[in-house]
Amino acid sequence: MSEPPASLDRAALQGARVLLGVSGGVAAYKAALLARGLVTHGAHVQAVLTEAATRFIAPAQLAALTGRPVPTDVFDDAHRIVHVDLARQADVAVVAPATANALGKLAGGLGDDLLSSTLLCLTAPLVLAPAMHTEMWEHPAVVANVATLRERGVVLVGPEHGPLAGGDEGPGRLAEEGAILDAVAAALAPAGRGSGELAGVRAVVTAGATREHLDPVRYLTNRSSGRMGYAVAGALARRGAHVDLVAGPGELPDPPGVTVHRVETAREMHAAVVERAQDAAIVVGAAAVADFRPAQAADRKRKKGATDEPEQVTLVRNPDILADVGARKRPGQVLVGFAAETHDEEAHGADKLGRKGLDLIVVNRVDAHDAGFAVETNRGVLLTADGQRIALPLASKEALAETLVDHIVARRTGADLPERTPPR
Ligand code: C5P
């Protein structure tokens, strides 16, 4: 994924007081790069290391990079009540890497060292960048802790899928420095530091494919990666919107500042969206929702049977999520769809725009090598309910998402579109 330009999205870091917590995982060495990145963007960084982190990275290195002493113990400078002091002086805190132990202590409210005690005193926004082996990340206790923390409004960035220590590979790798910087900047933005045309506005975005089960091991799905929807969710959050992203299965990292709800089937996506759409001013349907599902999802694996006669699978219609949201549309709500087509795309797009009660629809071909499913770029045409046709030239999905959000913002305010630098 290409990085957004620093000047646009990371301005909130300038002058911000960032508490950088480092817990004891192999990825702790990357905290040095993050500290340097934060300082480069103008942040005042106060690093705090756990005892175990000091085995992986020297406090002196972070002290040199941040220009401040790095405490590791509650009893360093005990007369100052260091943990309370550190928490009060932070505009935002980020823990990178956050180990399973750090997540567990925070979820459970434990404060048995300087970092955990400081985080218990924190009232500023908190960003966690977990890093651990896949087995740990997928352990039910860690999954439950992550859900608890998310519910409390903690922002999680990553982990990403990739090579791990010891030659393993899977989800668990610390998010890239750029993604963590963006998450910290986005966490600061609602406090009024960033630009926020959509501050206080709720948005719901769908992304990715759905899975329609035939039996416990087989399902029907499609090639959508979810990238376009993730990019739209990230772009809305950068403008200050409170974004719920309802996403099908996939391995994309959570966009910074976005609350992600994972679903599998179209019916689960429908329930998650309809519930949240009532309070949302913006709903964007970028998911490739399966139109049909097997009438029966067998609870045991379907067997071949005695003959070679193929089994007939009966399909039934799935709910149309956007059409249902469109049918209950509130005044002032902006509804946006995507139409992925292989032919006559504009005619089909215009038809869907009217039928589903949408304000905007992005029409694109999915049979091109540089647009549509599972590629980094996209291009197409934006059709509006009042009959405008706006070309969307080839751009990264992130850049196209920014352009789309410009149109959403303009639709809400009725303002002329702002001049924007051409897509990267
Ligand atoms: O009808 P079609 O699937 O081509 O329409 C595409 C648009 O409708 C997309 O925005 C997609 O997310 C949305 N959609 C939906 N629920 C469905 C099917 C499509 O929300 N069951």
Lowest mean pLDDT among 8-12, 74-78, 139-143, 183-187: 74-78
- Is pLDDT of 416 > 70? no
195 band by pLDDT with thresholds 50, 70 and 90: low
Across the chain, what does the average pLDDT equal? 88
- Mutation test residue for ligand 1: of 269, 320, 346, the one with most atoms within 8 Å of CB: 320
**Arch. (CATH architecture) of 10-192:** 3-Layer(aba) Sandwich (3.40)
Q: Any residues with Cβ below 6 Å from ligand 1, and which? A: 206, 266, 285, 287, 289, 291, 318, 320-322, 337-339, 352
Identify the bridge partners of residue 215 per DSSP, sorted by sequence position.
218
CA distance 411 to 424: 24
More confident residue, 49 or 167: 49
Atom of ligand 1 nearest to the CA of 356: 8
Closest listed residue to residue 173, CA positions, set 370, 314, 30: 30
Q: Is 184 exposed, middle or buried (0-12, 13-18, 19+ CB in 10 A)?
A: buried
pLDDT tens, residue by residue, 377-414: 888 999 999 999 999 998 889 889 999 999 999 998 76
What is the model's pLDDT at position 2?
Answer: 37
38 band by pLDDT with thresholds 50, 70 and 90: very high
CA distance 289 to 110: 42
Interval between CA 206 and ligand 1 midpoint (Å): 10
pLDDT tens, residue by residue, 303-327: 877 677 788 899 999 999 999 999 9
- Mutation test residue for ligand 1: of 224, 289, 315, the one with most atoms within 8 Å of CB: 289
Could you tell me the residue ranges of all domains in the chain? 10-192, 202-413
Interval between CA 319 and ligand 1 midpoint (Å): 10
Closest listed residue to residue 157, CA positions, set 190, 187, 119: 187
15 band by pLDDT with thresholds 50, 70 and 90: confident
CA distance 237 to 256: 8
74 band by pLDDT with thresholds 50, 70 and 90: low
143 band by pLDDT with thresholds 50, 70 and 90: very high
CA distance 245 to 263: 10
What is the model's pLDDT at position 415?
Answer: 58
For the segment 44-67, the average pLDDT, to the nearest whole number, is: 95
121 by DSSP, 3-state: which? helix
More confident residue, 309 or 42: 42
What is the model's pLDDT at position 414?
Answer: 64
Q: Is residue 30 within 8 Å of 23, Cβ to Cβ? A: no
What is the model's pLDDT at position 413?
Answer: 73
Q: Considering only CA atoms, which residue is closest to atom 4 of ligand 1?
A: 339
Question: 10-192 and 202-413 share one CATH topology?
Answer: yes
Interval between CA 291 and ligand 1 midpoint (Å): 8
Interval between CA 138 and ligand 1 midpoint (Å): 31
Atom of ligand 1 nearest to the CA of 338: 10
414 by DSSP, 3-state: which? coil
Interval between CA 321 and ligand 1 midpoint (Å): 7
For the segment 65-74, the average pLDDT, to the nearest whole number, is: 87
Atom of ligand 1 nearest to the CA of 336: 10
More confident residue, 260 or 78: 260
CB contact burial 312-344 (16+ within 10 A = b; e otherwise):
eeeeeebebbbbebbeebeeebbbbbbbbbeee
Query: What one-letter code names the amino acid at 332?
Result: G
What is the model's pLDDT at position 189?
Answer: 67
Omega before residue 310 within 30° of 0, cis: no
CA distance 356 to 319: 12
Tokens of 414: 């009725």
Of the residues 145, 222, 318, 378, only one is catalytic, namely 222
101 by DSSP, 3-state: which? helix
* Residue 222 known to be catalytic: yes
Q: Is residue 248 within 8 Å of 266, Cβ to Cβ? A: no
- Is pLDDT of 349 > 90? yes
Q: Is residue 104 within 8 Å of 77, Cβ to Cβ? A: no
- Mutation test residue for ligand 1: of 274, 315, 356, the one with most atoms within 8 Å of CB: 356
Interval between CA 288 and ligand 1 midpoint (Å): 6
Atom of ligand 1 nearest to the CA of 290: 21
More confident residue, 8 or 357: 357
CB contact burial 49-63 (16+ within 10 A = b; e otherwise):
bbebbbebbebeebe
Interval between CA 226 and ligand 1 midpoint (Å): 14
Q: Considering only CA atoms, which residue is closest to atom 6 of ligand 1?
A: 339
Residues in the chain: 424
What is the model's pLDDT at position 79?
Answer: 57
Domain 202-413 has CATH 3.40.50.10300: yes
CA distance 285 to 273: 10
Q: Considering only CA atoms, which residue is closest to atom 5 of ligand 1?
A: 339
- Is pLDDT of 211 > 90? yes
